[in-house]
């Protein structure tokens, strides 16, 4: 038995020197000390020894065990140390390397134009009002003098959610809501910028676009006030030498109504490709608020008057920056956005 113990000892210590990983070490441990290991089976034979031999042999086996445990521990620590060192080598960070630059976004030209329009009107004492994009039939149509089956209510153009709930087709509901909230206080002097939705989609129409509408309600507001304000706005937006003209038009919510042209910002009025030779470019619609709409907002049309106007932001942006295709405004291509 002594020889066998000696052999296990020699074999094990020799194999230990050949190991290359902690997994192999674990396997060797099982081969020697595991349930079916060589040392374990030897221990099982101890019962066959004489009473005199047994304690001696027990002592030898215990010593071997301690010796092997120590050798294993040493080897284990060696593997751990190597693993740590190689990790440190592999994961070393070169702090002198320049970092990756993150791609930067850019403010959208539509946001820029909206901010510019807001600044111009805030400079004239207007405040900014906002409201829901999902509206009721009442605020989007009824209160704006567009009763059910009015011919100007183009059902084809409206995204309905239910019979009574829809995506707003204009920002005018914001003005009705503001009048309701504010009455009987005067003046009501707001602009309402925001997204609007219409069911058409081609090269010149998008199902979602942006509007800025304005409303001024007070005692003694006149059409000439509207004209002066729009001239000031046009010059701020498109240059000091711009002129404007008003052409009679029709909107259900204003009476009288006008379409507003600005003298061409490309040719100055001489006639060119942009203004199709006319010298004028349409930029917005406007008019005196219809008495019925004032009433729906909670104001007495015998005591107060008001004007309103509305413009499409995409159109203003395209004219201001010479953008020829509206779809560029919706692609969000950074190479396009960075030009503004
Ligand atoms: C209230 C009363 C009146 C808003 C107005 C227009 C004329 C107009 C168009 C411009 C281009 C819409 O985006 S567009 O297609 N808008 O021509 N909008 S007057 O009138 C109002 C609004 C609210 C209470």
CATH of the domain at 235: 3.30.930.10
Cis peptide before 184 (omega within 30 of 0): yes
- Are residues 63 and 136 both part of a single domain? no
In a domain? residue 205: yes
In a domain? residue 100: no
- Are residues 137 and 69 both part of a single domain? no
In a domain? residue 284: yes
- Are residues 130 and 58 both part of a single domain? no
Query: Which residue's CA is minimally distant from atom 16 of ligand 1?
Result: 310
State yes or no: pLDDT of 155 exceeds 70: no
Distance of CA 26 from the midpoint of ligand 1 (Å) = 82
pLDDT at 262: 97
In a domain? residue 104: no
- Are residues 208 and 317 both part of a single domain? yes
- Are residues 82 and 174 both part of a single domain? no
- For residue 45, give the DSSP letter: G
- Are residues 79 and 153 both part of a single domain? no
- Are residues 169 and 28 both part of a single domain? no
Ligand 1 site residues (CB inside 6 A) read 170, 172, 175-176, 211, 213, 215, 251, 253-254, 284-287, 289, 293, 308-312
In a domain? residue 269: yes
Question: Tokens 């290991």 map to which residue?
Answer: 37
- Are residues 28 and 141 both part of a single domain? no
Residue 257 CA to its chain's centroid (Å): 38
- Are residues 283 and 184 both part of a single domain? yes
Distance of CA 237 from the midpoint of ligand 1 (Å) = 19
As annotated, the binding site for Mg(2+) includes 255
pTM comes to 0.74
| 280 CB-near residues (< 8 Å, 6+ apart) | 245, 261, 262, 263, 264, 269
- Are residues 169 and 244 both part of a single domain? yes
- Are residues 13 and 61 both part of a single domain? yes
Question: Residues 255-264: pLDDT tens digits?
Answer: 999 999 999 9
Question: Residues 75-121: pLDDT tens digits?
Answer: 899 889 988 999 998 988 888 988 889 989 999 999 999 999 999 99
Question: Residues 21-46: pLDDT tens digits?
Answer: 888 888 888 888 888 888 888 778 88
- Are residues 230 and 153 both part of a single domain? yes
Number of domains the chain is built from = 2
- Of the residues 144, 251, 281, 292, which should be mutated to test ligand 1's pocket, given the most ligand atoms within 8 Å of the CB? 251
Q: Which domain holds residue 59?
A: 2-90
Question: Tokens 């567009």 map to which residue?
Answer: 146
């Amino acid at each position: 038995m002594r020889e066998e113990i000696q052999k296990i000892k020699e074999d094990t210590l020799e194999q230990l020197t050949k190991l290359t990983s902690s997994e192999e070490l674990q396997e060797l441990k099982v081969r020697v000390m595991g349930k079916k290991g060589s040392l374990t089976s030897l221990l099982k034979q101890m019962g066959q020894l004489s009473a005199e031999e047994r304690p001696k042999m027990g002592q030898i086996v215990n010593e071997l065990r301690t010796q092997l445990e120590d050798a294993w521990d040493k080897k284990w620590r060696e593997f751990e140390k190597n693993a740590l060192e190689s990790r440190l080598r592999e994961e070393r960070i070169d702090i002198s390397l320049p970092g990756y630059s993150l791609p930067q976004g850019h403010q959208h030209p539509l946001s820029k134009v909206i901010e510019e329009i807001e600044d111009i009107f805030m400079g004239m004492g207007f405040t900014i009002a906002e409201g829901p994009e999902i509206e009721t039939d009442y605020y989007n149509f009824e209160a704006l003098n567009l009763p059910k089956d009015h011919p100007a209510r183009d059902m084809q153009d409206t995204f309905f959610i239910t019979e009574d709930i829809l995506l707003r087709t204009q920002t005018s509901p914001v003005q009705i809501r503001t009048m309701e909230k504010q009455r009987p206080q005067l003046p009501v002097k707001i602009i309402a910028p925001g997204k609007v939705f219409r069911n058409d989609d081609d090269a010149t129409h998008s199902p979602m676009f942006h509007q800025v509408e304005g409303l001024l309600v007070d005692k003694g507001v006149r059409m000439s006030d509207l004209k002066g304000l729009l001239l000031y706005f046009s010059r701020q937006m498109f240059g000091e030498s711009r002129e404007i003209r008003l052409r009679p038009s029709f909107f259900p919510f204003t009476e009288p109504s006008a379409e507003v042209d600005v003298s061409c910002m490309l040719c100055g009025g001489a006639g060119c490709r942009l203004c199709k030779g006319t010298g004028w470019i349409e930029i917005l619609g406007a008019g005196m608020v219809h008495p019925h709409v004032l009433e729906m907002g909670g104001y007495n049309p015998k005591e107060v008057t008001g004007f309103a106007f509305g413009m499409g932001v995409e159109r203003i942006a395209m004219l201001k920056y010479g953008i020829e295709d509206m779809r560029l405004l919706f692609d969000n291509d950074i190479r396009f956005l960075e030009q503004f």
